[in-house]
Amino acid sequence: MDTEVDALRAVDDKPAKATRVAIIGCGGIAMMHIKLLKKIPGVTIVAGADILPAALERMKNEHGVTSLYEDYNEMLAKEGANIDAVSVCAPNGVHHAASIAASNAGKHVLCEKPMAMTVEQAQEMADAAKRNNVEFVIGFQHRFEPRSKILRDKIAAGDFGKILYVRAQALRRRGIPNWGVFGQKALQGGGPMIDIGVHIIETAHSIIGSPKPIAASGSTFTFLGDKPSTVNSPWAGWDYKTYTVEDMAVGQVRFDSGTILSVETSFVAHIEQDVFNIQIFGEKGGAIWESSQIFTDIGDYMVNVTPSFIGDWSMWDYKIQHFVDVVRGERKNEAPAEQGVSVQKILNGIYDSADAGCEVKID
Ligand SMILES: NC(=O)c1ccc[n+]([C@@H]2O[C@H](COP(=O)([O-])OP(=O)(O)OC[C@H]3O[C@@H](n4cnc5c(N)ncnc54)[C@H](O)[C@@H]3O)[C@@H](O)[C@H]2O)c1
């Protein structure tokens, strides 16, 4: 068996269970989900919902899906008997209502990141899944990378000792999304912190064993996205007129374990090049996530350790295969709702602190 993902697929020799998936929000990320779902034996895409007729047209033309709806509630009501699970790929502001509607209809849910726009929404989504006895998988993926697994395993084994400090960075030099509604606070909940910071936060949080966040302090800055720009960049042409989110957000979070997490995120930081990285500082060892380098002492010497092989699989294959396996009852949920809620508490704690101008407690 070459990879853990292959191992997941070869659960046994029985034919794959039939799994019927519907999509809510048939835009960019939905196409990725569909491509990967279709690779899994036994999975069919049975229906799709999107408010844009052009998106539904693409579902029909590119994926042969003919049960298409402009209203996901209508889809759930009419197609309910034919759906086992729903993938929520609509903008952040839709995650709460769509996930709860799917849970209430008795469907398992994969909800794209971030879980929601507020902690209250995220908690209600978690509660709805529990009440309806369905699985809720939050659409995080970087926790599934081999380089996340090795650090999570080492930390869980105590090899780094107590984790004192974690530095997480998701910084783009010039990368405001020029599609969708990513610049609109009312529909997204925020800018780089909630959009790309969520990735590096969920990864760091998962690597250190998902401790409970208890306080946050943060600041946000908007200085470029709300103005027209003539500067050449690969992602030029964002809609500055509707831009209401931050350009940069930084924060610090305390966990009940005593660990401190610092987070730096930006769509437009004046830096040499983009950074997407985590550094771990433990009492007995440290590490750089990006390169999988480990720093520790052996005997009387300080050593730098670079693993020769950490595994080789795609986080995206893992994410989608994991969801299907969870729906089929063949695998424990490794991205459960309660961890989505914890990450939401970190995100909103930083935003709340930025609004308040002081550290805020997290319940
Ligand atoms: N995991 C990742 O790496 C990743 C990457 C990109 C996007 N995402 C997440 O996926 C979500 C969508 O992002 P995207 O890039 O695909 O955006 P997108 O704009 O390309 O697609 C969103 C689609 O949802 C549709 N939509 C809007 N309101 C709807 C509603 N009420 N009901 C049904 N459909 C509705 C839109 O018409 C659009 O077709 C966001 O939450 C984003 O954060 C995750």
- Domain at 250, CATH number: 3.30.360.10
Ligand 1 contact, 91 CB (< 6 A): yes
- Asked if the structure places residue 70 within a domain, the reply is yes
In terms of domains, do 134 and 259 share one?
Answer: no
In terms of domains, do 209 and 349 share one?
Answer: yes
pLDDT by residue for the chain (363 residues), tens digit each?
344 555 455 455 678 899 999 999 999 999 999 999 999 999 999 999 999 999 999 999 999 999 999 999 999 999 999 999 999 999 999 999 999 999 999 999 999 999 999 999 999 999 999 999 999 999 999 999 999 999 999 999 999 999 999 999 999 999 999 999 999 999 999 999 999 999 999 999 999 999 999 999 999 999 999 999 889 888 889 999 999 999 999 999 999 999 999 999 999 999 999 999 999 999 999 999 999 999 999 999 999 999 999 999 999 999 999 999 999 999 999 999 999 999 999 999 999 999 999 999 998
In terms of domains, do 147 and 281 share one?
Answer: yes
In terms of domains, do 253 and 131 share one?
Answer: no
The pLDDT score that the predictor gives to residue 3 is 45
Ligand 1 centroid – CA 195 distance (Å): 12
In terms of domains, do 150 and 279 share one?
Answer: yes
Ligand 1 contact, 72 CB (< 6 A): yes
What count of other Cβ atoms lies within 10 Å of the Cβ of residue 273? 7
In terms of domains, do 48 and 136 share one?
Answer: yes
- Asked if the structure places residue 338 within a domain, the reply is no
- Asked if the structure places residue 65 within a domain, the reply is yes
Q: Is the pTM of this model over 0.85?
A: yes
Task: Give the number of the atom of ligand 1 that is nearest the alpha carbon of residue 92.
Answer: 41
Closest CA to 87 of 320, 263, 266: 320
Task: Give the number of the atom of ligand 1 that is nearest the alpha carbon of residue 49.
Answer: 33
Q: Does residue 165 contact residue 260 with C-beta atoms inside 8 Å?
A: yes
In terms of domains, do 160 and 90 share one?
Answer: no
Ligand 1 centroid – CA 91 distance (Å): 4
Range of the domain at 237: 143-311+343-361
In terms of domains, do 199 and 298 share one?
Answer: yes
User: What total number of domains does the chain contain?
Assistant: 2
Q: Hey, what are 26's tokens?
A: 């048939």
In terms of domains, do 325 and 351 share one?
Answer: no
CATH number at residue 87: 3.40.50.720
In terms of domains, do 267 and 161 share one?
Answer: yes
